[in-house]
Amino acid sequence: QKEVEQDPGPLSVPEGAIVSLNCTYSNSAFQYFMWYRQYSRKGPELLMYTYSSGNKEDGRFTAQVDKSSKYISLFIRDSQPSDSATYLCAMSESGTYKYIFGTGTRLKVLA
């Protein structure tokens, strides 16, 4: 079993829809939770980060962490075709430097 599980998709939604992207994990020591967006043949771009449990909102993006369920989510409101990309979750333990990434979910927002 991988430490971080993420549905690879692809996930297709119409423009304007609310998108929900999720990751589950098995390592209870993870404290930092990140979401990256990666366009085809580009490097990952940091979108959101959260420490421990709770919610964080930034514009159209909301990140949620439920440590009791070992489950994190990224919500995208009013999705746009420009949001079409692969979304990667990443996690790390406190005091370590390496991120453990999910496989990424491919998202397509249809105009």
Partner 1 sequence: DTGVSQNPRHKITKRGQNVTFRCDPISEHNRLYWYRQTLGQGPEFLTYFQNEAQLEKSRLLSDRFSAERPKGSFSTLEIQRTEQGDSAMYLCASSSPGTALYEQYFGPGTRLTVT
Terminal-to-terminal C-alpha distance of the chain: 37
Contact criterion met (CB below 8 Å) for 107 and 82:
no
Q: Is 36 in the site for partner 1 (CB under 8 A)?
A: yes
Q: Is 84 in the site for partner 1 (CB under 8 A)?
A: no
Q: Is 35 in the site for partner 1 (CB under 8 A)?
A: no
Number of chain positions touching partner 1 (CB under 8 A): 27
Q: Is 104 in the site for partner 1 (CB under 8 A)?
A: yes
Min dist. Cβ of residue 25 to partner 1 (A):
12
Binder among 10, 18, 26, 45 for partner 1 (CB under 8 A) = 45
HSE (side-chain half, CA atoms, 13 Å) at 12: 2
Contact criterion met (CB below 8 Å) for 99 and 44:
no
How much of the chain is helix, strand and coil, in % rounded to 5? 5, 60, 40
Q: Is 98 in the site for partner 1 (CB under 8 A)?
A: yes
Could you list the residues that contact partner 1 (CB under 8 A)? 4, 6, 8, 32, 34, 36, 41-46, 49, 51, 88, 90, 92, 95-104
